[in-house]
Structure 1
């Protein structure tokens, strides 16, 4: 994201409001990884999920080549991470989103009854965005047997570490706040009042993040049409100001 923004002439001020971390207890994840060959498909909805699964497989001395035997789904450039592991990605939806994955799987005539694993995050400290629950529901509507497994944790950070950044926003010295996920929005809103950011342009990485932002009361000015990578997001922000 940083290089994409800098390439567009922006001066990014980074304020990570969420962090991801490994699980404290891998028991359930390990159970599903050890029987990975019982799944017809695995749907990865984030780079973090791919990283968490591949790292844990290595720690369990499991060959990541096992992924080659499974129908894999990934979003946008996330597929490159799986390909770097030697795995072939079967579904890379034209619309880079969980909904896009559902649409592609719906085209498969014998999808009903197939077993699909979704490595996802446990969200701590903020309400869970509806992205994964809606994804699970959509796959179940296709007749798939869906197993969601927690592969990593996402938690909100303490606002006290961002006193300087929040004050710059209050003073109107930040031109745009760019959100790349719904979890970031919830965590940010926990840190400040509406009056702190009401005159700041809000940008969102794609229509789903934008819809959740509006649901949470934000006035969204920028939504990237190309949300397959951060390059498209940075270009949308630059276009708004040019």
Structure 2
């Protein structure tokens, strides 16, 4: 599993529930911004936005942490409407925030499809909290999301909210050797950034040629293929990690159980 640790814990439990043996090897980590200028400017004028569209739980956590650090009143958010994806809506609810738009398809494209149904959405202003990528290429998901919102006629403000960076491969000597030796059955990617980070840690395709590649949904799978990976497992239900674990278990069923190997 290459997901950041805050996500990996949830995916790990789902795999264990299916009888799997998860190995954690986060290829990326999220951390605080070094420069909060853009985020702070947006937060100081938060009541000027009609919508706030979150694409990740990390974005939600970093956004509200900064609000707390600045001592801003959450009542300033009452004028805004909120978009979230999948179980991220539960995180907003826990923070006391009502989710106004939860798309049937748990993806940024799903948000665009639902917003497109709102008659007066053109000219509405939307704030999009996004990660700042360090030593990693920005996945096309975010630029595509911004372009889709702009195509609806919305006034889009994207604002860096947290940093995503690649971890040092030297901390994973054991895990990378397990992969090279063919002792890992499945490499489970939950985002494009994880794939980019992983590819920086290996020397060539030979390092992972014995592994089956699994992806958390069609968008991650499409980007994995663009990056040269052969994808064999794609979660059809990508609203939660339970769907990803189900997809891996379904792949493993002919072999008896995913408990026979690692993930």
Do these two structures clear the TM 0.5 threshold for a shared fold by scoring above it? yes
Report matched runs for 1:1-242 at 5 Å.
1-192=11-202, 193-242=204-253
CA distance in 1, matches of 2:74, 2:85: 19
CA displacement at 1:42 relative to structure 2: 0.4
Aligned-residue RMSD, C-alpha:
0.8
What whole-Å deviation, never above 9, does each CA across 1:178-219 have from its counterpart, x for those lacking one? Answer: 000000001101111100111210000000000000010100
Distance 1:96 1:208, change over 3 A: same
State the aligned residue count: 242
Q: Distance in 2 between matches of 1:17 and 1:55?
A: 24
In structure 1, what is the equivalent of residue 5 of structure 2?
Answer: none
After superposing the two structures, state which structure 1 stretch, 57-66 or 140-149, moved more. Answer: 57-66
Distance in 1 separating the partners of 2:180 and 2:75: 50
Q: Matches of 1:231 and 1:109 in 2, distance apart?
A: 35
The secondary structure found in structure 1 opposite 2:88 is helix
SS in 1 for 2:158: strand
Query: Which ranges of structure 1 fall in alignment gaps of 5 or more residues?
Result: none
TM-score normalised according to structure 2 size: 0.91
The higher relative CO (CA closer than 8 Å, separation ≥ 6) is in 2
**Deviation readout 1:208-237 (Å, 9 max, x if unpaired):** 000000010100000000000001101110
**Any gaps of 5 or more consecutive residues in structure 2?**
1-10, 254-263
1:8 to partner: Cα distance: 0.5
CA distance in 1, matches of 2:17, 2:44: 43
SS of structure 2 residue aligned to 1:76? coil
Residue 86 (structure 1) shift: 1.2
**Residue 108 (structure 1) shift:** 0.5
